[in-house]
Amino acid sequence: MSKFDALDTGLVVTAHGRHFIVETPDGERLTCHPRGKKSDCVVGDRVRWMPTGSGGDDEGVIEHIEPRRNLLFRQDEWRTKSFAANLDRIVVLVAGDPMFSESQLTRALIAAESADIDACIVLNKTDLPQAALARERLAPYRAMGIAVLETAIKRAPDEARAVFAPLLHGRTTLILGPSGTGKSTLINLMVPEASAQVGEISTALNSGRHTTTTTRWYWVDRAQATALIDSPGFQEFGLHNIDAQQLPLLMPDLRAHVGGCRFYNCTHRQEPGCGVRAAVERGEISPSRWRIYGEILDELSRSPHR
C-alpha cells in the first residue's frame, strides 16, 4: 500500500506552467500546484492531492502522480517537455489549405508509434480543390495501413459528426493539427460547451494568464467516457526520447524492409545491401518519407537532449 493511497484522487485537465486544474471524481475543479520545485504533471495524469489549507490562490497540492500508460513530449530548441499522458488515440487533423507539413505528420505518427498509441489521420476541407493534392500526398500513409478518413467539418457538420463520433467514442483522444486546419471548429462541433469550459479554466487560472497556449481536456459526453485533449505547438512535437537506431522500426513503410538489410546495424543511408534503400529505388517507400527519415535520424544522432 502506498503512503499516498489515503489522499484524494483527481484528473489533471489543464496545465499552465506550475498551475494545474485538477478535476475530482465528483466533477469539482480546483487549482493545484505540485509539491517541490519540479513540475512533472501533464494533462491526462491521474494524481493524488491534498488541500493547501494556506488560503492562497491555489486550493490544493499535488503529492503524487499515478503510473502512466503512456506519455507524449514536445520539443523546443532547448529542452524536451512532456505534455499529455494516458491517451487511447491520436487524431492528426490535416488539410490542403493550408497544405499540411508531411514532416510534422510523420513526427506525430512516430511519437504515437513509440508510445504504443493508436493513431489516425483525418483530411479536413475536402470541399476545397486543394484536397486533391492533399489526398495524393496521403496515399503512402494509406498504403502502409494507417487509417485516413475524410470530412469537411465546416461545410457538412452533420457528416463530420458522423465521422468523428465513432472515432472518439469511449476514448481519450489527443487532437493534433496546425493552425487553420479546423481543430477549433472540430472541438466546438463535438463539445458545444467548449467555450464555457475554457472560460471556467481562464477564471480558475486568473484571467491575466495566457490560457490560449495551454493543453486542455474536454469531456465530450455527460457520462464522461469520451474525452478530447487539445494542445498547441504541433510543430514542436518532441522525438528526442527515441533511440536513433529504433527510428526505422517506428515507421511502418521502412520497418517492412529492414529484414532485407545485409547488416544488422544498417542505418539505411549508405551501407551496401540495404533492403530499405532498395525499396526506395523500387518506389515502395516514397521519396518524401525517405528524406524525412534522414532528417530525423540526423537530429537524433546529434541530439544534445540525449
Domain hosting residue 263, numbered range:
244-301
Give the burial string for 129-155 (b: 16+ CB within 10 Å, else e).
eebeebeebbebbeebebebebbbbee
Q: Select from 211, 236, 261 the last residue of a domain.
A: 236
pLDDT tens for each residue of 193-224? 887 555 555 565 554 444 445 789 999 998 99
* 73 within a domain of the structure (yes/no): no
- Residue 279's CB is within 10 A of a number of other CB atoms, namely 19
Whether residue 96 is found in the same domain as residue 221 = yes
Cell numbers found for residue 52: 493547501
Give the contacts of 150 (CB within 8 A, at least 6 positions apart). 122, 123, 126, 131, 135, 163
Whether residue 89 is found in the same domain as residue 232 = yes
Q: Is 184 annotated as a binding residue?
A: yes
Q: What is the pLDDT of residue 135?
A: 98
Whether residue 219 is found in the same domain as residue 179 = yes
Q: What is the pLDDT of residue 211?
A: 43
Q: What is the pLDDT of residue 301?
A: 87
> N- to C-terminal Cα distance for the chain?
34
Whether residue 137 is found in the same domain as residue 209 = yes
* CATH assignment of the domain containing 287: 1.10.40.50
Give the contacts of 121 (CB within 8 A, at least 6 positions apart). 91, 92, 94, 105, 138, 141, 146, 147, 148, 149
Higher pLDDT among residues 57 and 267, named by residue: 267
Whether residue 99 is found in the same domain as residue 225 = yes
* CATH assignment of the domain containing 61: 2.40.50.140
Q: What is the pLDDT of residue 209?
A: 46
Whether residue 149 is found in the same domain as residue 259 = no
Q: Is 124 annotated as a binding residue?
A: yes
Q: What is the pLDDT of residue 208?
A: 46
Q: Is 212 annotated as a binding residue?
A: no
Q: What is the mean pLDDT of residues 1-10?
A: 86
Q: Residue 176 in 3-state DSSP? A: strand
Mean pLDDT, the chain, rounded, equals 89
* Owner of C-alpha cell 461545410: 155
Domain count along the chain: 3
Q: Is 88 annotated as a binding residue?
A: no
Strands 60-65 and 46-51: antiparallel
Q: What is the pLDDT of residue 207?
A: 44
Q: What is the mean pLDDT of residues 65-72?
A: 95
* 291 within a domain of the structure (yes/no): yes
Higher pLDDT among residues 248 and 73, named by residue: 248
Q: Is 266 annotated as a binding residue?
A: yes
Q: Is 27 annotated as a binding residue?
A: no
Q: Select from 236, 254, 271 the last residue of a domain.
A: 236
Q: What is the pLDDT of residue 284?
A: 96
Q: What is the mean pLDDT of residues 34-58?
A: 84
Four-residue CA torsion sign, 259, 260, 262, 265: negative
Q: Is 32 annotated as a binding residue?
A: no
Q: Is 261 annotated as a binding residue?
A: yes
Q: Is 126 annotated as a binding residue?
A: yes
Q: What is the pLDDT of residue 194?
A: 83
Whether residue 257 is found in the same domain as residue 178 = no
Instruction: State the Cα–Cα distance between residues 163 and 277, nearest whole angstrom.
Output: 37
Instruction: State the Cα–Cα distance between residues 61 and 35, nearest whole angstrom.
Output: 6
* 79 within a domain of the structure (yes/no): no
Predicted confidence band of residue 76 (pLDDT cuts 50, 70, 90): low
* 192 within a domain of the structure (yes/no): yes
Whether residue 226 is found in the same domain as residue 257 = no
Instruction: State the Cα–Cα distance between residues 8 and 49, nearest whole angstrom.
Output: 6
Alpha-helix residue ranges (DSSP H) falling in 96-156 = 102-114, 131-137, 139-143
Q: Is 127 annotated as a binding residue?
A: yes
Q: Residue 20 in 3-state DSSP? A: strand
Q: Is 183 annotated as a binding residue?
A: yes
Instruction: State the Cα–Cα distance between residues 6 and 284, nearest whole angstrom.
Output: 56
Whether residue 223 is found in the same domain as residue 95 = yes
Whether residue 107 is found in the same domain as residue 221 = yes
Whether residue 48 is found in the same domain as residue 124 = no
* 120 within a domain of the structure (yes/no): yes
* 135 within a domain of the structure (yes/no): yes
Whether residue 294 has pLDDT greater than 70 = yes
Whether residue 232 is found in the same domain as residue 258 = no
> Using CB atoms within 10 A of its CB, is residue 282 exposed (0-12), middle (13-18) or buried (19+)?
exposed
* CATH assignment of the domain containing 206: 3.40.50.300
Instruction: State the Cα–Cα distance between residues 157 and 13, nearest whole angstrom.
Output: 26
pLDDT tens for each residue of 89-146? 999 999 999 999 999 999 999 999 999 999 999 999 999 999 999 999 999 999 999 9
